[in-house]
Structure 1
Amino acid sequence: MLRRILASSRYIMIVPVVATFLGSVALILYVAIVLSASAIDTVRAGSVSATSVKTSAVGIIEAVDVFLIAIAVYIISIGLYSLFIDDKLPLPKWLEVHNLEDLKGNLVSVVIAVLAVLFLREAVVWDGTRDIAAFGGALALVVAALTLFLMKNTDRRQ
């Protein structure tokens, strides 16, 4: 009886799977609406200037950042589902998750992309008053550490 209960307990993972999936969808829809509204406002305003272009570019970069976060949350959802519920889920090779290390690797890859977008956003709005080199250096250290994690993780699986 205990064995059956423990075997069935894996289905409790439906809660984080559904929650992360819904969170990902909500982020994607929200940002799509914000981008659409921003584009409509820009067209309505009719102003074409270097400042408005820069503002639009920053808005798009921020949207890409949120989309990448939504993708990370989606990867977590799919990964948890395939790890705990159904490992026969048809997925592209790069999204296949066989253990928690694979899930962490996919997540870390998206985090690196998010950090790159974060730096790009800061570089676009840089006005010369802040120390962007220190910010870039700090991000580079984090990316290097995450890349080292990915390399060690890959070595461990081979």
Structure 2
Amino acid sequence: MEQPDASDRPAPHGTRPDQPAIEKIFEWLLWNSRYIVLLGVVFGALSAIVLFLAGSMEIFEILVEYTKFSSSHLTHEEILIGVIGAIDFYLIALVLLIFSFGIYELFISEIDVARMGGEFGGILEVSSLDDLKNKIIKVIIMVLIVSFFQRILSMEFTTSIDMLAMAVSIGVICVGVFFMGKNH
């Protein structure tokens, strides 16, 4: 039986037999430059941790201030503003986590540990950049809504027009959330 010569053998995966060496090197460098997204993954996850801690500290400070037996007792509005601020931190942290998981899975590798244990939730599963963008946009919209309500709580209403503007704003947000949910 005759042995095939080197020109008849298939080329190694990802290269062509007639591909110049400089092209192989360039393509290898270009392909491996995707690992730069690890900076976004690591710093996105670290930022999320910082925001989770900041939100927790916000609630802790409210608890400490609320349980103090002093004359500077918190009002209901101050408590709500603080708690909503903490929720804002948590939601932004979630955006960063979704971003970190998403770009890791899109550019580097699937997160095998999460998939093996069956713990991988649908919110973290990203199949394309559009999918990642849509998930992040939904959470950002929730952040904006929470921020809006935090600002509403600290507003002073002096005229009936102020109250009407607040009611219309809340109505518009409700309609937007309705259509956002209907689109899903």
Distance 1:57-1:47 versus aligned 2 partners, 3 A rule: farther
Aligned partner of 1:20 in structure 2 is 44
What residue number does 1:100 align with? 129
Number of residue pairs the alignment of both structures matches: 149
1:119–1:136 Cα contact (<8 Å) kept? no
Q: Residue 123 of structure 1: CA displacement? A: 3.1
Alignment pair present for 1:36 and 2:69: no
Moved over 4 A (4+): 46-49
Q: Which moved more, 1:63-72 or 1:38-47?
A: 38-47
Matched, 1:70 2:93: yes
Contact 1:69–1:114, Cα closer than 8 Å, also in 2: yes
> Which AA in structure 2 matches 1:70?
A
Would the aligned equivalents of 2:58 and 2:83 in 1 still touch at CA under 8 Å?
no
Q: Which is higher, the Rg of structure 1 or of structure 2?
A: 2
Q: In structure 2, how many angstroms separate the alpha carbons of the residues matched to 1:112 and 1:101?
A: 16
5+ unaligned residues in a row in structure 1: which ranges?
none
Structure 2's unaligned 5+ residue stretches are 1-24
For the Cα contact (< 8 Å) 1:83–1:97, is it kept in 2? yes
* Structure 1 position 57 matched with structure 2 position 57: no
Q: Give 3-state SS (helix, strand or coil) of 2:68's partner.
A: helix
SS in 1 for 2:105: helix
| Matching residue's letter, 1:136 | S
* 1:126 counterpart SS class: coil
Q: Does 1:82 align with 2:105?
A: yes
**Cα distance change on mapping 1:57 and 1:88 into 2, 3 Å:** closer
Q: Which has the higher helix share?
A: 1
Q: Could you report, residue by residue, the CA deviation over 1:1-34 in whole angstroms, capped at 9, with x for unpaired residues?
A: 2222122111111011101110110111122122
Name which of 64, 89, 114 aligns with 2:143.
Answer: 114
Cα distance in 2 between the residues matched to 1:106 and 1:45: 44
Q: Which amino acid aligns with 1:93?
A: G
AA aligned to 1:10 is R
Say whether 1:136 aligns with 2:169. Answer: yes
Contact 1:83 1:98 in 2 (8 A): yes
Q: Within 2, Cα distance between the matches of 1:128 and 1:65?
A: 24
TM-score (norm 1): 0.77
Deviation sequence 1:63-116 (CA, Å, 0-9, x none): 111111111111111111111111344331232111110111111110121122
Share of identical aligned residues, percent? 28
TM-score (ref. length: structure 2): 0.67
Map of 2:18 onto structure 1: none
